[in-house]
C-alpha cells in the first residue's frame, strides 16, 4: 500500500514524470491498491477471528470488484505495451500519437470495459441458486469455486467465463506480443549496445508484471474444472491478487532511475514539510 501510494503520488505531482508511461503507471498502481483493499482486509480478519463466515452481499461485492479491477488491469497492461512500442519504434511521432487525450481515452476504456465485463461475469457466477453447504476453499470469493457450489448445472457458466477469459486475457496478450516483437525487431536493427540495454531494461519491467498477472489468471480461469482444487487454486489466487500488486512497485521502481529520483525528491519534500511544522 505504501509503495503503490507513493507511486500514485509522485506520478500525479512530479512534473518530471509528465509522460504517458508514468501516467499509465500511476493508474496501474491505483488498480493494485484496489486489488489489495478488496482481498486482504477480509483475509486478515479471518486470520484473527474464529468466525470465517461471509455474507452473500459481501461475497457478491468482492467478486465484482476483483473482476472489475482484474479486467481493467489486463487491458491497461496491453495499452502500456503499445505505449512502449510507439515510444521506441516511432519516437518522432510519439508525442502526437500518445497525446494526453489519447492516454485518458485508453485508461477510460480499460476502466469502462472492466466495469461492464464485471457485471457479465457476476451474472454468470450467481445465475444458479445456492442450496448446498457454501464452504469456499479460498481466502476470497473466486468465481470457479463459487460456481461449483451452485445447485444447477455449472458447465454453462464455466464455459461462458472461459470464453470471456479468452477475450480478456488472450486478446491483450496478442497485442502485447505483437508490440514487443516489433520493439525487438526495431532495437536489434538500429540501436547501439547502450541503447539496447536501456530499452531492454525498460521493457523487462513491464514483461515481468505481464507474466506474473497473466499466467496466474489464465490458470485460475482457463483451466478445465477437473484440474481445480484448493491446493492448486490458492497459490495462483494469491499470486494475481496479492503478490503481483506487491511486486509491481518494486519491479517498476528499482529498475527505473527516474522513478527512484522522484521518490527521493518526494520523501525529501515530506521530510522538509514535517521539519517546518515542528
The secondary structure of residue 93, as a DSSP letter, is G
Q: What is the mean pLDDT of residues 2-27?
A: 85
The pLDDT, as a whole number, for residue 226 is: 47
Q: What is the mean pLDDT of residues 85-104?
A: 90
Distance between CA atoms of residues 276 and 156, nearest Å: 63
The pLDDT > 90 percentage for the chain reads 17
pLDDT digits (tens, 9 = 90+) for 174-196: 898 898 888 888 877 765 665 56
CB 165 within 8 A of CB 143: no
Cell 470471456, located at residue:
164
The pLDDT, as a whole number, for residue 148 is: 80
How high is the mean pLDDT of the chain? 82
The secondary structure of residue 98, as a DSSP letter, is T
The pLDDT, as a whole number, for residue 277 is: 61
CB 29 within 8 A of CB 11: yes
227 CB-side CA count, 13 A = 8
Give me 97's grid cell.
500519437
Provide the sign of the torsion angle of the four alpha carbons 43, 49, 54, 58, taken in this order.
Answer: negative
Q: Which residue has the higher pLDDT, 152 or 201?
A: 152
pLDDT digits (tens, 9 = 90+) for 20-71: 888 998 999 999 999 888 888 888 888 888 778 888 888 889 989 999 998 9
Least confident of 45-54, 161-170, 216-225: 216-225
First to last CA, the chain: 27
pLDDT digits (tens, 9 = 90+) for 100-116: 999 999 999 999 999 99
Cell 489466487, located at residue:
237
Q: What is the mean pLDDT of residues 202-227?
A: 74
**Is the predicted pLDDT of residue 225 greater than 60, yes or no?**
no
Give me 247's grid cell.
511486486
Distance between CA atoms of residues 103 and 83, nearest Å: 9
Q: What is the mean pLDDT of residues 7-23?
A: 84
Q: What is the mean pLDDT of residues 220-243?
A: 69
Give me 130's grid cell.
445456492
Query: What's the Cα-to-Cα distance from 70 to each of 65, 149, 221, 255, rounded to whole Å?
Result: 8, 23, 12, 24
Supply the DSSP string of 178-245, one letter for each residue.
HHHHHHHHHHHHH--HHHHHHHHHHHHHHHHHHHHHHHHHHHHHHS-GGG--HHHHHHHHHIIIIIHH
The pLDDT, as a whole number, for residue 108 is: 95
Domains of the chain from N-terminus onward: 1-221+235-257 (1.20.1070.10)
- Banded pLDDT at 147 (limits 50, 70, 90): confident
Share of the chain residues as helix, strand and coil, in percent rounded to the nearest 5: 85, 0, 15
**Is the predicted pLDDT of residue 220 greater than 80, yes or no?**
no
The pLDDT, as a whole number, for residue 228 is: 52
**Is the predicted pLDDT of residue 127 greater than 50, yes or no?**
yes
Q: What is the value of pTM for the model shown?
A: 0.85
Amino acid at each position: 500500500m505504501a509503495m503503490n501510494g507513493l507511486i500514485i503520488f509522485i506520478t500525479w505531482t512530479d512534473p518530471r514524470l509528465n509522460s504517458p508511461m508514468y501516467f499509465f503507471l500511476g493508474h496501474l498502481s491505483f488498480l493494485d491498491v484496489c486489488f489489495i483493499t478488496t482481498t486482504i482486509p477480509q483475509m486478515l480478519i479471518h486470520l484473527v477471528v474464529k468466525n470465517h463466515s461471509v455474507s452473500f452481499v459481501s461475497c457478491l461485492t468482492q467478486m465484482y470488484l476483483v473482476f472489475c479491477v482484474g479486467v481493467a488491469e489486463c487491458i491497461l497492461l496491453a495499452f502500456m505495451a503499445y505505449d512502449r512500442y510507439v515510444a521506441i519504434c516511432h519516437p518522432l511521432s510519439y508525442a502526437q500519437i500518445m497525446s494526453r487525450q489519447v492516454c485518458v481515452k485508453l485508461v477510460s476504456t480499460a476502466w469502462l470495459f472492466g466495469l461492464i465485463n464485471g457485471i457479465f461475469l457476476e451474472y454468470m457466477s450467481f445465475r444458479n441458486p445456492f442450496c448446498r453447504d457454501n464452504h469456499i476453499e479460498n481466502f476470497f470469493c473466486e468465481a470457479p469455486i463459487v460456481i461449483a457450489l451452485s445447485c444447477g448445472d455449472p458447465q454453462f457458466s464455466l464455459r461462458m467465463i472461459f470464453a470471456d477469459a479468452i477475450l480478456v486475457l488472450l486478446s491483450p496478450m496478442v497485442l502485447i506480443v505483437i508490440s514487443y516483437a516489433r520493439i525487438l525487431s526495431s532495437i536489434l536493427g538500429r540501436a547501439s549496445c547502450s541503447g539496447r540495454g536501456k530499452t531492454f531494461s525498460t521493457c523487462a519491467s513491464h514483461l515481468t508484471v505481464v507474466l506474473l498477472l497473466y499466467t496466474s489468471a489464465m490458470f485460475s480461469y482457463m483451466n478445465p474444472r477437473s484440474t481445480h482444487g484448493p491446493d492448486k487454486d490458492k497459490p495462483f489466487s494469491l499470486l494475481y491478487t496479492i503478490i503481483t500488486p506487491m511486486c509491481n512497485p518494486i519491479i517498476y521502481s528499482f529498475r527505473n532511475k527516474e522513478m527512484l529520483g522522484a521518490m527521493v525528491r518526494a520523501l525529501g519534500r515530506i521530510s522538509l514539510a514535517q521539519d517546518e511544522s515542528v
